């Protein structure tokens, strides 16, 4: 899938009264060198942070643990809250069955154990040095501002 087709999933002009709001967790997972794990997504070929939506009856911490295991094969422990991201500019996603505004809670976590394993949601997992991420055009729009905040060392952001 080319970048333009992948980015067509993101279009704030499609928001209307039927737009759903979905809460999710984004994870900042660092290796011992401080590099940050990104996943190349299988749905659009772009890079993003591991994570996903909060399921009914699930806490943010439970979501973080489940998503880390499902998407990366890693067992983690959550360290801190980094920010909350809800600005519609980069957070409207067009799925085949719905238009969704993402509200993501960004958490930093330590890796406790496990080996990196791609799930069906990703085609590649790789650690990147902060500031040496793929180009902006190769990153899913909802991950762009959080990654800039990470590089800047910001914590407790509300966007």
Closest by Cα among 109, 107, 25, 120 to 70: 120
Query: What is the structure's pLDDT at 4?
Result: 46
Please say whether the beta carbons of 50 and 145 come within 8 A. Answer: no
For the chain, give every domain's residue range.
3-158
How far is it, in rounded angstroms, from Cα 119 to Cα 66?
13
The model's pLDDT over 96-113, given as tens digits with 9 standing for 90+, comes to: 888 999 999 999 999 999
Query: What number is the average pLDDT over the span 53-66?
Result: 97
pLDDT digits (tens, 9 = 90+) for 5-30: 555 677 666 788 899 999 999 999 99
Right CATH for 3-158 from 3.90.79.10, 1.10.10.10, 3.40.190.10, 3.40.50.800: 3.90.79.10
Phi-psi region of 134 (alpha: psi -120 to 50; beta: other; left: phi over 0): beta
Q: What is the rounded end-to-end Cα distance, in angstroms, of the chain?
A: 29
Q: How many CB atoms lie within 10 A of CB 107?
A: 24
């Amino acid at each position: 899938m080319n970048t333009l087709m992948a980015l067509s999933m993101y279009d704030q002009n499609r928001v209307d009264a039927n737009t759903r709001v979905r809460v999710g967790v984004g994870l900042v997972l660092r290796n011992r060198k401080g590099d940050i794990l990104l996943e190349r997504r299988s749905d659009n070929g772009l890079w993003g942070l591991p994570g996903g939506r909060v399921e009914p009856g699930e806490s943010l911490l439970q979501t973080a643990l489940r998503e880390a295991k499902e998407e990366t094969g890693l067992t983690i422990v959550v360290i801190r809250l980094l920010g909350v991201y809800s600005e519609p500019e980069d957070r409207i996603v067009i799925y085949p069955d719905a238009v969704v505004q993402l509200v993501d809670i960004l958490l930093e976590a330590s890796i406790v154990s496990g080996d990196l394993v791609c799930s069906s949601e990703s085609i590649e997992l790789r650690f990147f040095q902060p500031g040496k991420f793929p180009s902006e055009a190769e990153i899913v729009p909802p991950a762009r501002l959080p990654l800039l905040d990470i590089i800047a060392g910001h914590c407790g952001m509300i966007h």
